[in-house]
Amino acid sequence: MFNHCLLRTYVPLEDLNNSLTLQLLLVPANFLPFGNGDVVNPISDDGSSEAIYLQQPFKYFGRTYNQIYVNNNGHLTFTQPLSAYVPYLNAGIDIIAPLWTDLFNVNGGTISYREDTSSAVLAQVTQAVNQYFPNVPFTATSAFVATWDSVPYITGGGVVTFQVVLVSNGERSFILINYGDIAETGQSWLAGYDTVDSVNSFTIPAASAPELSYSSNINVNGRWSFRVDGSRTCNTKAVGSSLDTGRNCRWWE
């Protein structure tokens, strides 16, 4: 099981009297806080959020986006929602996919998101980026946080918990992908990111879905980090390896 710690993160829950109570969440240690203040995605097979308009535009490999979609099947897209549940290579879209597979929030779990500009969260993500990319001067001004919390596979057999954070200062952009408990599955799945022309693409090299919880390119189990504004920062090596900035990694490698 994945290591957890208790964070002061609360979600309001309606009790039998329609008043609000507070439930303390058990959050994976590498996650940003989630729940309180988040918008919850619709409970829908292959569903998506509505267009989410960003306070801080996000640069993604040469394109600047002012909106984003959180798709229930484990990915973010920028120009339109995506219902696809079977991952496919060379998709022809800009996509960030922490875990692209067929997920079914009709049977449980929560998919939620927020754009966070609080000083505490910005300090946390700034520190992370400065640690992972020490040669890149950076202070975050926005963090878009999307979390899939205990969402089951459509075929059953277990649930997955993961999070993706889009960190930006308006010019430079980074993503943090955080994994909690990831159940084994026989479903097709893929984790990484892709672009319209697949020139800038990367697949996380895990042999099984549960391995995502312990994999990393920045020496933090269950966390991957990439610079995605246009400068290549790609790594296919195991935990403990340094970032490789000279290789053009593709989604299918």
Of 18, 21, 28, 22, the C-alpha closest to 177 is: 28
Of 79, 98, 100, the C-alpha closest to 89 is: 100
Mean pLDDT of the chain: 86
Rounded to whole angstroms, the Cα distance separating 136 from 134 reads: 6
Look at residue 2 in the predicted model and tell me its pLDDT.
38
Share of the chain above pLDDT 90, in %: 77
19, part of any domain: no
Residue with tokens 């990367």: 202
Look at residue 118 in the predicted model and tell me its pLDDT.
97
> Do the Cβ atoms of 238 and 214 come closer than 8 Å?
no
At residue 90, φ and ψ (nearest 5 deg) are 50, 55
Mean per-residue pLDDT for 210-224?
97
Number of domains in the chain: 1
Look at residue 152 in the predicted model and tell me its pLDDT.
99
15, part of any domain: no
> Do the Cβ atoms of 137 and 126 come closer than 8 Å?
no
Of 234, 202, 235, the C-alpha closest to 97 is: 202
Helix, strand, or coil (residue 161):
strand
> How confident is residue 161, by pLDDT bands cut at 50, 70 and 90?
very high
214, part of any domain: yes
> Do the Cβ atoms of 227 and 221 come closer than 8 Å?
no
Residue 138 pLDDT exceeds 80: yes
Residue 110 pLDDT exceeds 60: yes
Mean per-residue pLDDT for 139-162?
98
Look at residue 238 in the predicted model and tell me its pLDDT.
35
14, part of any domain: no
b/e burial code for range 118-136 (CB count within 10 A of at least 16 → b): eeebbebbbebbeebbeee
b/e burial code for range 21-56 (CB count within 10 A of at least 16 → b): eeeebebbbbbbbbbeebeebeeeebbbbeebebeb
Mean per-residue pLDDT for 57-84?
98
Of 146, 140, 59, the C-alpha closest to 94 is: 59
207, part of any domain: yes
41, part of any domain: yes
In whole angstroms, how far apart are CA 18 and each of 21, 41, 47, 174?
A: 9, 21, 27, 40
b/e burial code for range 165-191 (CB count within 10 A of at least 16 → b): bbbbbeebbbbbbbbbbbbebebebbb
Look at residue 26 in the predicted model and tell me its pLDDT.
66
Domain that holds residue 78: 30-227
> How confident is residue 253, by pLDDT bands cut at 50, 70 and 90?
very low
pTM as predicted: 0.85
Look at residue 111 in the predicted model and tell me its pLDDT.
99
45, part of any domain: yes
Convert the pLDDT of each residue in 4-22 to its tens digit.
443 434 344 443 333 333 3
Mean per-residue pLDDT for 161-183?
98
Look at residue 119 in the predicted model and tell me its pLDDT.
98
20, part of any domain: no
Look at residue 22 in the predicted model and tell me its pLDDT.
34
Tell me the sheet residues that pair with 162: 148, 179
